A and B are shown apart, each in its own frame.
Chain A
Amino acid sequence: MKFHRIIFFSFLVGGVVVASSVQAVGLGVKPKKLEVQARSWQTVQTEFLVMNVSQEPGLYQVYADGLENKINFEPTEFKLEPGSSQVVKLTVKSIAAGIYSTNISVVARPLGSGGLISASGVKLPLVLTITRLDWFLVLAFGLVCLLVGYVVLWILRTKRRINNNQH
């Protein structure tokens, strides 16, 4: 018998256990879509809820399919007991103006490791609408700063002049 060409895809014991028990790993994610609006170069935060909707504890992982360098999650990996949930915070770092679209992947895996694992995943659409800075406001802010600086300078000079006169 060509034993070396026989392939085992599961543990014998594990197979029996799996067959004798109903194991299911699942997840729920709320909301079903994330839409984030921000101004360019602004850091913005939002959050979503990950729930273990199955009757088995599982390991959960969160990651972004795109914009990986601009999106942070906290936490990214966690264990959830049946019926438990975890709020995941999403932070989008400074980014140029534009409309960005990607998916957030959330995967629920069973605790048993080895063989072919079947896992549940949810793709949560994320749409980032980043608008440009309002240059008129920036200009106005700059003018106000200049004006305040001028007034402060004038007060300091006036005080110095009064002091000089007193001495």
Chain B
Amino acid sequence: MKKIKNCWLTLLLLAIAVQPVFVSASIPQAVGYLESQADDPWITMALIASGQTAVASGHLRQVSGTSATDYAKTILAVSALNQDPATFGNIDYIAQLKSKYDGTQMGDSNLLNDDAWSILALASVGQVESAQAQAAKDFLLANQNADGGWSYSVGAGSDTNDTAAVVMALVEAGASADSRVIGNALAYLRSAQNDDGGFGYQPGNDSDSGSDAWIISALIKLDIDPATWIKNSNNPVTHLESLQADDGGFWWVDPSGAEWNNKAMTAYAVIALSGFSYPIGYYQAADDPDPIEGQYHLRIEGSTSTICDIYVSATTALDLIEQAASECGYSYNITQESFGPYLRSISDDTAQGLDGWLYFVNNVSPPVGAADYELQSGDEVLWYFGQWGWLPTRITASQTEINPGDTIGLSAEYFDGNNWQPLSQAVIKINNEERIAQSNGQLNVNIYENGVYQVYVDMNGYVRSPKKTINVGDTVNNNVGLQVEIDQTSGSGQGNIGGEAIALVVGSSQVSFGSLGPGESGSQAVNLSNEGTVQLAIGASVSGDVVFTQGITIDDQFYDDYSSSLAPYEDHDAQVTLTIPQDYLASGIKNGELIFWATAQ
């Protein structure tokens, strides 16, 4: 645990040390831009990296992903908030990520970027030594291209973005900055640097803010000052700064010559220019006292479930309730009574009769009211809805990772004010199934099915215990019990968005005609594939240089007149042809964009 803490401190110190290099970019303005955008994990990380403290996190509580990267980025953001990704959301994100392990690598076996982000996510929760992270590391090492770089997928050409991500992941997984693998990767990145000091997605591409940002973060990871990577008197930092717009956002590419532009890379730019690499932060488990100065552990046990379990800054035990409300998403009511402030309700649990809200600090009931209890370093506060005299409980497990069919020993205990004592006949819940412990509080159980199990004590007259997660099986492939993951790609998926999907894949991201002179033609086949379940009508549009808008034909039709139809799962090679007019006088590289449009028929 100390190692993680040291890593965290080292990262912060490094950030502070590097930060003066990047003074000319307006991070506060960029923060304003990001705060005006829809929340996502990258924006959360960027706001934390920029030093913001009251960062919205509600969007991280209901994540239902389909890919390893969906969970990896969520874990990275939750860790950056110094919250536990296993308990922060509606499901255990770490278990979900680990469930993407197929025994040799993480996620899609055709992809490499999900392995890099899985390593970084697992590193952020202190699990870089896990079988999943180490397998992902081996998979990445086995798929380094001859040029020293990596691609997003197996067998594809290297790109700077994924190379930078893999470098950060390998360093987290133990690779030395001086190793040959990292040296070759740096040589690849160096070869991709443009004369403006920036980087494009691949060598020869225009410099863009996303590529600059990834490479700056990778260099920071390696303790290399990005400003020393100079080409033609420019460096990636100055190039990235040059892309900042008046509203604080960062343009993707130089707006003066762009056919199309956007500011979707702003979060990555803020992270890089704030002097951060990935992970932004490392989650410190609750058993590490006083993780961040001024923050205290708060757990709220409601009548039917755990309402909150986080670290939060506050001054008194009652203040914790107010400070954690937005982050944990509950409402509360504190009334002023003759004896002082009184916590009347949290969410639907309202004081009535003998039932009310009571609190413990370090499992002991303090002799003063919550508003008068001033928090001390290392305090852990437990609020529960119940009756006076109920005692706190805890559960311990002989193992937290077992094979199907193995026996696991669980021990239920309560705190008598001085010591932990066995809880006789304790009701232990294993997900939604109740078991009764023996008179010594012990329960031995065999779990036969792979999965993630949450065990805890929940019995009348005692405060519900913290949950302990038990992983069963090498490959944790599902969550069981009350937790359900919603599949967003089928049925009524994410956000209850149902119905059929329109899906089109264009098989080439760049159309290359080579070198052409006036009167000459060049053509390239572009594969169009209907990946959805509905019949598609296909059309096309072209924008950019006049040579494209006047000279492109598709399947011998002028692009504006082009139309075709694709049945579900059908594909078609569209022949894209460019003819240069005889009287065309200009020369040089021309930019343009060809969009194939799909509409459901």
Q: A30-B499, A119-B595, A121-B595 are in contact. Are A55 and B111 (CB under 8 A)?
A: yes
Cβ contacts under 8 Å, B584 to chain A? 5, 7
Which of chain B's residues 96-112 have a Cβ closer than 8 Å to chain A?
107-108, 110-111
What string of 1s and 0s marks CB contacts (under 8 Å) between B256-268 and chain A? 0011101111000
A139 interfacial by beta-carbon distance below 8 Å: no
Cβ contacts under 8 Å, A25 to chain B? 505-506, 509
B151 interfacial by beta-carbon distance below 8 Å: yes
Report how far A86 CA is from B70 CA in the complex, Å.
Answer: 10
B306 interfacial by beta-carbon distance below 8 Å: no
Report how far A3 CA is from B201 CA in the complex, Å.
Answer: 29
Cβ contacts under 8 Å, A21 to chain B? 151, 155-157
Contact A18 B508 (CB under 8 A): yes
Contact B514 A9 (CB under 8 A): yes
Contact A7 B510 (CB under 8 A): no
Contact A51 B503 (CB under 8 A): yes
Interface range for B: 35 or more
Contact A7 B205 (CB under 8 A): no
Q: Which residue of B is nearest A49, CB measured?
A: B497
Cβ contacts under 8 Å, A118 to chain B? 506, 508-511, 526, 576, 593-596
Contact B152 A79 (CB under 8 A): no
Which of chain A's residues 77-99 have a Cβ closer than 8 Å to chain B?
77-79, 81-85, 87, 89
Contact A24 B506 (CB under 8 A): yes
Contact A112 B509 (CB under 8 A): yes
What string of 1s and 0s marks CB contacts (under 8 Å) between B321-364 and chain A? 00000000000000000000000000000000000000000000
Cβ contacts under 8 Å, A56 to chain B? 152-153, 509
Cβ contacts under 8 Å, A8 to chain B? 515, 588-589
Which of chain B's residues 129-185 have a Cβ closer than 8 Å to chain A?
151-153, 155-157, 159, 161
Cβ contacts under 8 Å, B594 to chain A? 116-119
Cβ contacts under 8 Å, A29 to chain B? 501-503
Out of B40, B494, B514, B595, name the residue touching A10 (CB < 8 Å).
B514
A162 interfacial by beta-carbon distance below 8 Å: no
Contact B204 A14 (CB under 8 A): yes
A115 interfacial by beta-carbon distance below 8 Å: yes
Give the segment of A36-44, A103-111, A128-136, A147-155 that binds chain B.
A103-111
B565 interfacial by beta-carbon distance below 8 Å: no
Q: How far is the CB of A105 from chain B (nearest CB, A)?
A: 8
Cβ contacts under 8 Å, B515 to chain A? 6-9
Contact A113 B69 (CB under 8 A): no
Out of B509, B513, B518, name the residue touching A110 (CB < 8 Å).
B509
Cβ contacts under 8 Å, A12 to chain B? 204
Report how far A118 CA is from B580 CA in the complex, Å.
Answer: 19
Cβ contacts under 8 Å, A89 to chain B? 38
Cβ contacts under 8 Å, B315 to chain A? none
Contact B600 A54 (CB under 8 A): no
B482 interfacial by beta-carbon distance below 8 Å: no
Q: Which residue of B is nearest A4, CB measured?
A: B587
Q: How far is the CB of B118 from chain A (nearest CB, A)?
A: 12
Contact A79 B265 (CB under 8 A): yes
B504 interfacial by beta-carbon distance below 8 Å: yes
Which of chain A's residues 46-102 have a Cβ closer than 8 Å to chain B?
47-49, 51, 53-57, 59-61, 74-75, 77-79, 81-85, 87, 89
Q: How far is the CB of A108 from chain B (nearest CB, A)?
A: 8
Q: How far is the CB of B502 from chain A (nearest CB, A)?
A: 5
Cβ contacts under 8 Å, B152 to chain A? 55-57, 81-82
Q: Which residue of A is nearest B587, CB measured?
A: A4
Contact A81 B510 (CB under 8 A): no
Report how far A139 CA is from B363 CA in the complex, Å.
Answer: 61
Out of B66, B531, B578, name the residue touching A26 (CB < 8 Å).
B531
Contact A116 B598 (CB under 8 A): no
Report how far A85 CA is from B588 CA in the complex, Å.
Answer: 38
Which of chain B's residues 12-68 have a Cβ closer than 8 Å to chain A?
37-38, 40, 65-67
Q: How far is the CB of B279 from chain A (nearest CB, A)?
A: 17
Cβ contacts under 8 Å, B203 to chain A? 13-14, 17
B10 interfacial by beta-carbon distance below 8 Å: no
Q: A9-B589, A112-B200 are in contact. Are A120 and B598 (CB under 8 A)?
A: yes
B495 interfacial by beta-carbon distance below 8 Å: yes
Which of B161, B510, B580 is most buried by chain A, counting CB atoms within 10 A of its CB?
B510
Report how far A26 CA is from B593 CA in the complex, Å.
Answer: 15
A165 interfacial by beta-carbon distance below 8 Å: no
B230 interfacial by beta-carbon distance below 8 Å: no
Cβ contacts under 8 Å, B522 to chain A? 9
Q: A59-B252, A82-B111, A122-B502 are in contact. Are A23 and B588 (CB under 8 A)?
A: no
Cβ contacts under 8 Å, A11 to chain B? 204-205, 589
Q: Which residue of A is nearest B596, CB measured?
A: A120
Contact A9 B113 (CB under 8 A): no
B498 interfacial by beta-carbon distance below 8 Å: yes
Q: A53-B503, A55-B110 are in contact. Are A23 and B596 (CB under 8 A)?
A: no
Cβ contacts under 8 Å, B516 to chain A? 6-7, 9
Q: A54-B505, A114-B589 are in contact. Are A15 and B111 (CB under 8 A)?
A: no
B599 interfacial by beta-carbon distance below 8 Å: yes
Report how far A105 CA is from B265 CA in the complex, Å.
Answer: 21
Cβ contacts under 8 Å, A113 to chain B? 200-201, 205-206, 208, 252-253, 258
B368 interfacial by beta-carbon distance below 8 Å: no
Contact B489 A51 (CB under 8 A): yes
Cβ contacts under 8 Å, B295 to chain A? none
Report how far A110 CA is from B494 CA in the complex, Å.
Answer: 25
Report how far A54 CA is from B504 CA in the complex, Å.
Answer: 9
A137 interfacial by beta-carbon distance below 8 Å: no
Report how far A121 CA is from B553 CA in the complex, Å.
Answer: 18
Contact B499 A111 (CB under 8 A): no
B534 interfacial by beta-carbon distance below 8 Å: yes
Contact B153 A117 (CB under 8 A): no
Out of B502, B526, B591, name the residue touching A28 (CB < 8 Å).
B502
- Beyond A21-B151, A119-B596, list 5 extra A-B contacts (CB 8 Å): A21-B155, A29-B503, A79-B265, A84-B65, A114-B200
Interface residue ranges, B against A (CB under 8 Å): 37-38, 40, 65-67, 69-70, 107-108, 110-111, 113-114, 117, 151-153, 155-157, 159, 161, 200-206, 208, 210-211, 252-253, 258-260, 262-265, 488-489, 493-495, 497-518, 522, 526-527, 529, 531-532, 534, 541, 544, 547-548, 576, 578, 580, 584-600
19 A-B Cβ contacts within 8 A? A2-B517, A6-B587, A18-B512, A22-B507, A30-B493, A31-B498, A31-B500, A32-B600, A33-B499, A49-B494, A59-B264, A84-B65, A87-B497, A89-B38, A112-B159, A112-B200, A116-B510, A120-B504, A121-B541
